[in-house]
Structure formats: C-alpha cells, structure tokens
C-alpha cells in the first residue's frame, strides 16, 4: 500500500473521482453517506472555517487505486500531564452523516488508515465521529476495534420521511390537525396577496440569497442570534457554496412570496434520491399564519413529482419536524482512542477517580 497526506483541498482529479465514487456508492437512503461528505460540501465548509484546527486528508492506495480517504482536522490539546491530538472529520464542522471513505468498507483498509493516522502524529490520538447505527460504517468500525479502544459516548435521533409517488397520498397520510392547518394557512395567505413559490436550482443565485437573508433578518432567529445574517461564517459559506451546488446539480431551494415579498424559505440539496433540508425559516410577522407549512406542501408536491424518495430533516427531533413524521434514524457518537494510556486517563475522569500512576496501571491491567 502507498500512503500520502494532503494539507489542502487542492487535490488532483484522480482523487476527486475516487472521492465522488466512494460517496455515491455508500448512499443508502438515510443510513448511508450523505451530501455533506461530498468534496464540494467539505471544501466549502473548510474554506469558511475560522477555527484553530489544521486540515489533513489521509489517502491510501493499493495496486495503484485509491482505497481510502479521510478528510479530518486536528487540534493539539493537553489533559493533565498528557498532550494529545483530537481529530474529527471535516463534516463535523457542519455535521451531516459522517463517514470514512473506504472502498467497500473493507476492514483491512480501515485498519491501515487508522494505523497511518496514528503513526503520522507525534502525540496520542483521540478520534471523535458519528455513525448511523446499523450502517456499514458502524459495522466496519466495530469489526476493526480489536486494534484500538472504541467508546460510545452519545446517541442522536434525526427525523426523516419516506416520500410516496403522489402528494395526494402523502397529504392523506398526515395527521388531521396538520392537514387542516395547511388548508387554513393557504386561505389566510391568499387574503394577504398573490401567493407564489419559486424553486431555485441552477440560476438566479443572487435573488435566492437576497430572499433568504431578508427572511432571516425578519425571523425569530435574528433576535435569538442564530440567523445566518448574525453568523458571518455561515453567511460566507452560503454565498460561496450556493453557486457551486447549482452548477453541480445539487441545489433545490424553495421560497414563498406574497406579491414580491419573500416570507418563507427552505434551503435544500438533492443527492442520489434524497432531499436534505439544511435551513428553513419564515418572517416572524407571519407566525400565526404558519407559512412554513404551506411552503412544505409545495415542496413535497415537487419532490413527489421528481420521484425523490427520502426527505432528511437533518439535526434533532424538534416539534415542528415531528408533526410531519414519526420515523427517525439513530446516530451513535463514538470516540476512538488510539492510545491505551489516553483511554485510561479519560475513563478514570468519567469515573471521578484521580490519575495517579497506581490507578492508571490498575486500569491497564484490568483491560
């Protein structure tokens, strides 16, 4: 095997092709890879990153073919008397479903990748990542765990929808209260003026971003300090990434207008038959009319007609999402300790014990 490390996203076309192939081969509804592991997404995330981490893209070749790619960022830290390297995938910075890009999820390549990473750094390594429970990635990681310490530290639930072929079928399956709310909101909005929805895919990016930012500034998120327009890094990201997503055929955004006034939006991407809902909001002055529900009805009708099979809400199970579905997928947050002493020290900390040599030796002996 051959090993190399890149310190930027300026990789050659051969690496980009392998990257694209690994991601697309691993898309399995909401249990496989998602668009946030694509080269285009991660390059945009890293370009607008303003933290203290350092980028490393670890690449392995076997028989002149790329078999593993790991885009990660590293930060040097200290705990008690020990310096260590904390690693995470670049996807963690704007997290979707993280993945190790390994050919056919072969354990031998994953073990080689971890050994390569561990040998590369002069300090012990702690690797933080998420994996969908029951996925090929989780099985690969567990199968290779004889060579390092693997600990599950958290569990996350995310909602999704399996989309039928017809919107009428989906609408009839919704709860009665939600169906009534959608129809009632449509009538109330119609009284405000001419209602229209524009779908943005591969052009009019300036109009799209102007509409989104206008809505964000008039949303409850602006007061809470969580809007795109209150976060310079996020605003830079969307300005940079949106035209790229359009050119790559990923973009599918919906904006609801009354006359020419934008009042609600959904910023989405479509990748291998899955729609990803990354951002959405509405003007707070329209809260009682629920424009988001009306926009979603347009959106789901469009996705049904386009034969998109899955809608991923992304993120946690919030009430406004769960009124549309009861289905969720689960992700486990794992920590890989590539050093036994480092694992012992953090384990002792969790147990509230001191880090004396005697306790560390006992922990090592018990293991």
Backbone angles phi, psi at 207, to 5 degrees: -65, -45
Query: Helices (DSSP H) in the chain: which residue ranges?
Result: 13-25, 39-47, 107-120, 136-143, 167-173, 176-190, 205-217, 220-224, 232-247, 291-305, 319-322, 340-350, 357-366
DSSP three-state, residue 310: strand
pLDDT per residue of the chain (367 residues) written in tens, 0 to 9:
999 999 999 999 999 999 999 998 888 788 878 899 999 999 999 999 988 899 999 999 999 999 999 999 999 988 767 788 889 999 888 866 778 899 999 999 999 999 999 899 988 888 888 888 888 888 888 888 777 888 888 898 999 999 999 999 999 999 999 999 999 999 999 999 999 999 999 999 999 999 999 999 999 999 999 999 999 999 999 999 999 999 999 999 999 999 999 999 999 999 999 999 999 999 999 999 999 999 999 999 999 999 999 999 988 899 999 999 999 999 888 888 776 666 666 666 665 555 555 555 555 555 5
Question: Hey, do 2-158+330-366 and 164-308 end up sharing a CATH topology, with the first three levels equal?
Answer: yes
Taking the alpha carbons of 353, 356, 359, 361 in that order, is the dihedral positive or negative?
positive
> In degrees, to the nearest 5, what angle opens at C-alpha 93 toward C-alphas 282 and 148?
140
Residue with tokens 């990257």: 19
| Under 8 Å between Cβ of 328 and 132 | no
First to last CA, the chain: 32
Helical axes 107-120 vs 136-143, angle rounded to 10°: 70
Measured CA to CA, the distance from residue 11 to residue 15 in angstroms comes to 6
Q: Write the CA distances from 18 to 6, 95, 199, integer angstroms.
A: 15, 22, 32
Measured CA to CA, the distance from residue 128 to residue 136 in angstroms comes to 18
**Across the strands, what pairs with 265?**
255, 281
| Under 8 Å between Cβ of 101 and 69 | yes
Are β-strands 328-337 and 149-162 bridged in parallel, bridged antiparallel, or unpaired?
antiparallel
Closest by CA to 300, choosing from 182, 171, 196, 202, is 171
Q: What is the pLDDT of residue 129?
A: 84
Q: Is domain 2-158+330-366 in CATH 3.40.630.30, yes or no?
A: yes
Measured CA to CA, the distance from residue 110 to residue 145 in angstroms comes to 10
Burial string for 81-97 (b: 16+ CB within 10 Å, else e) reads eeebbbbbbbbbbbbbb
CB neighbours (10 Å) of residue 201?
14
Q: What is the pLDDT of residue 353?
A: 57
Measured CA to CA, the distance from residue 253 to residue 246 in angstroms comes to 10
DSSP secondary-structure letter at 189?
H
Cα 314 to chain centroid distance, Å, stands at 7
Alpha-carbon radius of gyration of the chain = 23
pTM over 0.85: yes
| Under 8 Å between Cβ of 19 and 69 | yes
Element (H, E) at 33: none
Q: What is the pLDDT of residue 120?
A: 94
Measured CA to CA, the distance from residue 312 to residue 42 in angstroms comes to 19
Q: Which two tokens stand for residue 292?
A: 């988001």
CATH class of 164-308: alpha beta
Backbone angles phi, psi at 360, to 5 degrees: -65, -45
Q: What is the pLDDT of residue 6?
A: 96
For the chain, the domains span 2-158+330-366, 164-308
Measured CA to CA, the distance from residue 209 to residue 232 in angstroms comes to 14
Are β-strands 274-282 and 310-312 bridged in parallel, bridged antiparallel, or unpaired?
parallel
DSSP secondary-structure letter at 298?
H
Residue with tokens 């424009």: 291
Residue with tokens 């995938």: 89
């Amino acid at each position: 095997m051959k090993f190399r490390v890149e310190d930027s996203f300026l990789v050659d076309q051969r690496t980009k092709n392998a990257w694209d192939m690994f991601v697309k081969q691993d898309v399995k509804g909401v249990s496989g890879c998602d668009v946030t592991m694509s080269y285009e997404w991660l390059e945009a995330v890293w370009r607008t990153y303003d933290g203290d981490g350092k980028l490393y893209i670890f690449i392995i070749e076997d028989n002149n073919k790329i078999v593993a790619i790991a885009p990660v960022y590293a930060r040097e830290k200290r705990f008690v008397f020990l310096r260590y390297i904390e690693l995470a995938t670049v996807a963690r910075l704007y997290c979707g479903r993280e993945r190790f890009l390994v050919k056919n999820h072969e354990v031998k390549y994953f073990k080689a990748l971890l050994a390569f990473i561990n040998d590369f750094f002069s300090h012990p390594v702690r690797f933080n990542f998420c994996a969908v429970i029951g996925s090929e990635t989780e099985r690969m990681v567990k199968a290779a765990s004889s060579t390092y310490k693997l600990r599950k530290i958290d569990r996350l639930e995310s909602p999704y929808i399996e989309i039928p072929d017809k919107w009428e079928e989906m609408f009839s399956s919704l709860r009665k209260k939600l169906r009534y709310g959608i129809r009632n909101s449509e009538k109330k909005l119609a009284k405000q003026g001419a209602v229209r929805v524009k779908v943005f895919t591969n052009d009019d990016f300036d109009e799209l971003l102007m509409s989104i930012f206008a809505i964000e500034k008039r949303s409850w998120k602006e007061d809470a300090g969580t809007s795109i327009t209150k976060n310079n890094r996020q605003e830079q990201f969307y300005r940079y990434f949106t035209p790229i997503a359009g050119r790559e055929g990923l973009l599918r955004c919906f904006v609801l207008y009354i006359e020419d006034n934008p009042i609600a939006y959904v910023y989405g991407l479509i990748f291998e038959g899955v729609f990803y809902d990354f951002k959405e909001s509405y003007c707070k002055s329209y809260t009682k009319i629920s424009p988001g529900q009306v926009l979603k009805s347009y959106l789901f009708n469009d996705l049904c007609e386009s034969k998109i099979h899955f809608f991923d809400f992304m993120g946690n199970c919030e009430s406004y999402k769960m009124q549309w579905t009861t289905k969720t997928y689960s992700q486990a947050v794992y920590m890989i300790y590539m050093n036994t002493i480092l694992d012992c020290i953090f384990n002792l900390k969790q147990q509230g014990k001191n880090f004396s040599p005697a306790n560390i030796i006992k922990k090592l002996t018990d293991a």
